[in-house]
Amino acid sequence: MHIFYTHNILDTGVLSEEESYHCIKVLRMKTDDTIGIIDGIGNMYEARIVLADTKHTRVEILSVQQDFGKRNYSLHLAVAPTKNIDRFEWLVEKSVEIGVDCITPLNCRFSERRTIKLERIEKIALSAAKQSLKAYLPKINHMTDFADLVSQSAESQRFVAHCYNLPKENLLKICKSQQSTLVLIGPEGDFSEQEIEHALRIGFRSASLSDSRLRTETAGVVATNTVALANII
């Protein structure tokens, strides 16, 4: 079943113009076809098309599943965008497929990219959510300075992953289940020593993701999957 997104579908009974076009023009769906709709806040609807229109496709809601796919933990992934934006977009796509609640692009001392197109990242996240049957849409934050992010963080467990020769613990072993979790991933040049020291000083734990040295985007996906595994083991 094809999945579409419209945040106020119960109020309007109409798919957004963009989703209507994709439904009718691209996928060539017709009146009486059954589709799925997510609203981004946890509801998964089964609906029937009653008016197939490329701008205003009207639907009849047949059923709704509330808290569809709700997880028993939350994950905030804060990661410095890669110089090659395609790699960062891949990270966003895969982390949403696995399960993430918030993604914050980090501006670090050694960052090679200090701007992003937020609207494009949000579209990639939405597409990944629909593809992977996620009824909750993750929050995508604006680019945030490292110092601001760590000082404002309030998650119950906070980790910083890095490549420095400092004592580190395996994330899978130290990540507790059913907790709000924040994981920091640095840029291609890693965090600076001062950034690591600052994070550790205010309560972050130094975490290892692998015995190998990982690319930024790979580290982000590994961290996301590791937190997911910690909640099912």
* pLDDT at residue 145, as a whole number: 98
Per-residue model confidence as pLDDT tens digits over 65-83: 999 999 999 999 999 999 9
Neighbours of 68 (CB within 10 A): 17
Q: How confident is the model at residue 98 (pLDDT cuts 50, 70, 90)?
A: very high
The answer to whether 96 and 51 are in contact (CB under 8 A) is no
Average pLDDT of the segment spanning 177-182: 98
Rounded distance, CA 216 to CA 163, Å? 11
The overall average pLDDT reported for the chain is 96
Q: What is the pTM of this model?
A: 0.94
* Cα 14 to Cα 59: distance, rounded to the nearest angstrom: 6
The mean per-residue pLDDT over the stretch 95-119 comes to: 97
- Amino acid 11 reads D
Please state the rounded mean pLDDT for residues 141-150. 97
Domains of the chain by start residue, with CATH: 3-65 (2.40.240.20), 74-230 (3.40.1280.10)
